[in-house]
Amino acid sequence: MHPLPSCPSCRQPMEAHRFTSNQGHALELDICFACQGLWFDRHENLKLAPQSVVELFRLLHEHRTDQHQPLAERMACPRCNTSLAKGFDVVRSGRDMIFRCARLPGRFSTF
C-alpha cells in the first residue's frame, strides 16, 4: 500500500479503493471523485478482474451526483510531480483521452 497521492488536477488527496486483480491479488486504485479521475500505476488498468470492473463502475455510479470540477490545464504526476502529457488510447468506441507521466509508468484518466 502506498501513501495517498494528490490528484493530478486539483492536488487534493485521492481516495484509495481496493479491488481484485485478474490474478487474484489485491489492487489499489486512486480515485478523485471531484475531478472524476482515476490514477493507474503501471498497467493497473489492464489488471482488474472482471468482477472488479463491475465494482469500480458501481462505485463511480454512486458518486455520479457529487460536485465536479473541470480539469486543470496543467497536471502533475502524483508520484513524481512531473508534468503529465496528454495522449489518447484507441478503443473500440473511438479514442479515450489520457494523461501520462513521461518519467514513471502511470496514467490519469477521467470517467
Encode pLDDT of 47-94 as tens digits: 999 999 999 999 999 999 998 899 999 999 999 999 999 999 887 778
Q: Tell me what the mean pLDDT of segment 15-19 comes to.
A: 96
Rounded Cα–Cα distance for residues 31 and 4 (Å) = 10
**If pLDDT is split at 50, 70 and 90, which confidence band does 18 have?**
very high
Q: Whole-angstrom Cα distance, residue 68 to residue 33?
A: 7
Grid-cell match 501513501, residue found: 3
DSSP-based three-state secondary structure for 105: coil
Q: What is the pLDDT of residue 1?
A: 52
Tell me the mean pLDDT in the region 85-106: 88
pLDDT at 58: 96
Q: How many CA atoms lie within 13 A of 35 on its CB side?
A: 23
Task: Report which secondary-structure segment, H or E, holds 58.
Answer: helix 50-62
List the grid coordinates of 92: 473500440
How far is the C-alpha of 1 from the C-alpha of 88, rounded, in Å?
28
pLDDT of residue 91: 75
